[in-house]
Amino acid sequence: MKILKYAGRTISLLLFFIHFSCVNEPLEGDFTQDDGVLNIEEGEFRANVGIGDFSTGLAEGVLSNTDLLTITGTVPDTGESIVLTIENPGVGTFNITAGLGTQNSGVYIETNPENPFVSDGTFGVFGQLNITEFDIQNLKITGTFSFTGVRFATDAAGNPIVDVNGDQVIENEDITNGMFNKISFTNEDQGGGGTP
């Protein structure tokens, strides 16, 4: 009986020390935290296009006097562009699926501006833009985006490509992990316009 009491007290004491020895241990090392801040430089515009990267410091926005915001990032070396358009911008999440009764859209221009990939909802694709900063005083905007663009496939001469049934082939491209940080935009409304 004495052995059981001794074993029980020893186990209780051991559990007590294990519990309290770990409670106040300081954590060491580098720990990443998602505090909502984008890890890109001011003025940068990035995305993944399919399995490739789209990255540029050449990005700008235009806010029309009808509260239509167009943000464009262009890679000068390749001619690629991503164009995001939304009505009535402000901080929040926006559907950038084209063809839903608004002017909202996401567009990826690979090389031919006559045949871009568009987030056209009539083809069952969609897009989303999240604006985290919309500074109407300093004319800066920050956010993230993703969309799937579709287009009719064409050959090198620009002719439609058709399948064995004679239907035009449709191509799609996923634009993911898109982000832009403090992109400058111009405000066409001289009275200040825009809805923060």
Q: How confident is the model at residue 8 (pLDDT cuts 50, 70, 90)?
A: low
Q: How confident is the model at residue 158 (pLDDT cuts 50, 70, 90)?
A: confident
Query: Would you state the pLDDT for residue 182?
Result: 96
Query: Would you state the pLDDT for residue 35?
Result: 45
Indicate whether this model's pTM tops 0.85. Answer: no
Q: How confident is the model at residue 2 (pLDDT cuts 50, 70, 90)?
A: low
String of DSSP letters for 12-33: HHHHHHHHHHHHTPPP-S----
**What's the whole-number average pLDDT of the chain?**
83
For strands 59-63 and 170-187, give the pairing: parallel
CA dist 105 and 83 (Å) reads 8
Dihedral angle over CA of 63, 117, 172, 164, nearest 10: 150
Query: Would you state the pLDDT for residue 140?
Result: 96
pLDDT tens across 30-82, in order?
434 444 446 789 999 999 999 899 999 999 999 999 999 999 999 999 999 99
What is the average pLDDT across 17-38? 45
In terms of pLDDT, which residue wins out, 95 or 194? 95
Range from 1-15, 83-97, 181-195 carrying the lowest mean pLDDT: 1-15
In terms of pLDDT, which residue wins out, 7 or 107? 107
pLDDT tens across 109-134, in order?
998 888 999 999 999 999 999 999 99
